[in-house]
Structure 1
Amino acid sequence: MDTLRTRAEVEKIARFLDADTERLAFLAALPASEVRRFREQVAAGLFDNQPEMLDRIAKATKLVPTSIAATISQKALGPKLAARVAGRLEPARAADIIEKLPIGFVADSCAHLDPRRVRDLVERLHEDTVVRIGVVLAKKGDYITMGRFVGHLSDSALRRILDQVADDVVLHVGFFVDMPERLDHIVGLMAPDKLADVVRAASDGALWAEALTVANLVGEQRRAEMAGLAARQDTEQLDALVRAVHRDHLWEALLPLVALLDDADRRAVAVLPSLQAWEILADVVRAVVATGLWSQFLPLVDVLPEKSRQLVAESAGALDDTDLDRMAVAVQEQDLWDAVIPLVELMDDTAKERVFALEAFQVQDEASEQHEERGAKPDPEPDPQQDPQQGP
């Protein structure tokens, strides 16, 4: 998930700086929280250090009727400069001017508005205006700007926008949402049929990164619902999802969703052709070792076909000493040896010996022996002097 959130933050910074994302590729290695903090600093630097001319224009705007101020904004300033001036006005005054402007012009201006002023403006705009802006932004494909706004919209406005935009818009905007804590509530406003259509849009448009982002940001109940809807897509679409995750190294975003599937859906995923390929299974094993997601991965392993289980065992047995030890430690900490031992049994003798020699395995083996010894001890003889109705 951090990979996806970082990617979204980098694209937002690129928009602010009017730069190609390739020039900001060095940010991809940083945690999403740090990249977001940097984006906020970039925004503050851009909007706090504006020419004094903007303040003079803002003061002059207060001296004329709103209709004239709107005309000046449209004819003389243009969308970018008008947005910068709006950021210098009192929110109520800016909202009054916006109501007098063509929606297309307002939508173009929104991309250049100080993100810190969005909430104050949205709260003062008529709902009809907000809805029309949202629909125009969706048609323009300006999902980054929509992502800044949606967290501040009322439920009524959100429902109206959701009814008027294409299903894939939900995924695009969810990927860029600035207030991810609101996403579960927003998705909850959709009818079940609409949510199913959104999940299908991920398959139809190969929007796997966007869908994984949204699914991992909503609450567990809706996450499980989205995971189940995705698992019921046809084999070709699910295979495309697995291969996209493999290509972009997104197992950390997918495996927690697979773990939420019911038995039937998990079995449908387990028999995918892509999960019978050595390179993909070896990649997922390495990812699980790196992330410690054994409790999310093992339920899928349990229902994999025999050939695939064998490949998983071989992949685990081929890990270098460091990763093999990391695997054992994670399994020990999560108390998953009962689920892992069947995989160890599928390894060749050399791999088995390496596992058995690991310190974490030795600790587990000793604990098991002690447990068996305690279980084998007979119950102590009752004390004939003690009343059985009384405790010891």
Structure 2
Amino acid sequence: MSRLANRAEVIKLARFLSVKAGSLSYLHDLPSDAVATLRSAISDVLHDELREPLGLLAAVARWLPAWVSALCARSWFGAPMTARLASELPAWRVANIAKYLDTEFLADVAIDLDPRSAREVLHLLAAKKVMAISHVLLLRRDFVTLGRFVALLPDDVLQQVAVSIEDEGDLLQILFFIEARYRIDHIVRLIPTERMRRAVLLVCDESRRDLWPSLLALLTHAGYGLKCELGDLAAEQGERVLTAIIETVQAEDLWEDVLPVVVCLSPEVQKQVVNLAALQRPEVLQQIIKATSYRQLWSAILCLAEVMNSAGRDNLAEVMEQADDEFLAQAAYAALLRSQWHTLLDIVRRLTPARQQDCHEILAHYLPSLDSETATYLQGLLNEYGIKPRPSAPA
């Protein structure tokens, strides 16, 4: 589960229900998709309750001249009802009516418009009209509504909208609330690289700290290739930027989101990040261990430990000393799956003798289930790293 995606969905639900996001804090343990489904379900229930009057209004609107329907919408229906009525009309009809509505009113309609019924309408509207609506929403700082519709825009209109948004921080906030996260890679590639570089550098601007989670959300939701590109882009900015990102992740408790991102980085950048002093602090490693346990990121932690220097492994071992046996058992299983025994055992040998013996007992459980060649290899590694079984009690 992504904490950042959950945060965005809870904010969108709170906006939909006209309540403060803090009042929905009990939803923070749910997957983001579940919160989004809940919002859609509530919207459908409300729509169903109005289905009969909406059907009658839609039947009338189909026969009225477009300018008369627009007059009724602005003077009688109001923006919320117009938004619901739009889902009952053909897209071409909605687009014709929109020609007679001012952009301020259309921006009000967009707040309640269901994106599921808006794609074709947005493609039929003139680019100039879409740009004007986007400008109104941007002036209102309504990033939630912009995020819900930005992925539905045609590429040429999307590029024009992106160019009109001068502040990279605004771009990040719109992407934070994007409805279709699978489109993030495509949208980002439509934005010039220099603008993305400036967006990454916002993590060093203390005055814009509120934007840092939005930047991390972009890294989290990007595809594998884009994760590597953005990670390399961040690394190019130097240790100061990488340290700022680590400190932000730690302060926001977002290691559950960011650990999978670090694993996707190119080997050189991954090694650079893992061996930063900011990441090897005990309190940071404790949060990483906690996130590893919660999200079952055992393979990820071993991948990072594989490129960690000796001092970092010492610090990691010190934190793992306090971990329970279940954590050690899961780490051992991950090592078995990825054949990362050297990495795991090099850390285990740094534990106290008592904890080494605990680990030996855990690993000994695997030996009977392994083929003879693998079992012999593992036993040889245990001997090589000096990890011995617990002494037998005297008879």
Quick check: 1:127–1:157 contact (8 Å CA) kept in 2? yes
Alignment deviations for residues 45-67 of structure 1 (CA, whole Å, 9 cap, x no partner): 12222275555554554554433
Report the Cα distance in structure 2 between the residues aligned to 1:318 and 1:183, rounded to whole angstroms. Answer: 39
- The equivalent of 2:194 in structure 1 is 193
Q: What is the CA-CA distance between 1:295 and the residue it aligns to?
A: 3.7
Quick check: 1:259–1:300 contact (8 Å CA) kept in 2? yes
Q: Among 357, 368, 374, which residue is 2:361 paired with?
A: 357
1:191-340 correspondence runs (5 A): 191-204=192-205, 205-206=208-209, 207-304=211-308, 306-340=310-344
- The equivalent of 2:172 in structure 1 is 171
SS of 2:279's equivalent in the other structure is helix
Alignment deviations for residues 206-230 of structure 1 (CA, whole Å, 9 cap, x no partner): 3333223222333221111111222
SS of 1:29's equivalent in the other structure is coil
1:1-392 correspondence runs (5 A): 1-50=1-50, 53-62=53-62, 64-165=64-165, 166-204=167-205, 205-206=208-209, 207-304=211-308, 306-359=310-363, 363=367, 368=374, 370-371=376-377
SS of 1:22's equivalent in the other structure is helix
Report the Cα distance in structure 2 between the residues aligned to 1:292 and 1:178, rounded to whole angstroms. Answer: 27
1:101 aligned partner, one-letter code? L
Percent identity of paired positions between Structure 1 and Structure 2: 29
Runs of 4 or more, structure 1, over 6 Å off, are none
1:200 aligned partner, one-letter code? L
Question: For residues 341 and 47 of structure 1, do their structure 2 counterparts lie closer, same or farther at Cα, with a shift above 3 Å needed?
Answer: same
Report the Cα distance in structure 2 between the residues aligned to 1:301 and 1:372, rounded to whole angstroms. Answer: 19
Quick check: 2:335–2:341 contact (8 Å CA) kept in 1? yes
TM-score under structure 1 length normalisation: 0.84
Report the Cα distance in structure 2 between the residues aligned to 1:245 and 1:154, rounded to whole angstroms. Answer: 34
Quick check: 1:292–1:327 contact (8 Å CA) kept in 2? no
Q: Structure 2, unaligned stretches of length 5 or more?
A: 381-395
Q: Which has the larger radius of gyration?
A: 1
How many correspondences in the alignment? 374
Quick check: 1:328–1:360 contact (8 Å CA) kept in 2? no
Quick check: 1:79–1:105 contact (8 Å CA) kept in 2? yes
Report the Cα distance in structure 2 between the residues aligned to 1:309 and 1:365, rounded to whole angstroms. Answer: 30
- The equivalent of 1:388 in structure 2 is none
Quick check: 1:47–1:114 contact (8 Å CA) kept in 2? no
Q: What is the CA-CA distance between 1:113 and the residue it aligns to?
A: 1.4
Larger mean CA deviation between 178-187 and 291-300 belongs to: 291-300
Aligned-pair RMSD on alpha carbons?
Answer: 2.9
1:191 aligned partner, one-letter code? P
Report the Cα distance in structure 1 between the residues aligned to 2:311 and 2:215, rounded to whole angstroms. Answer: 30
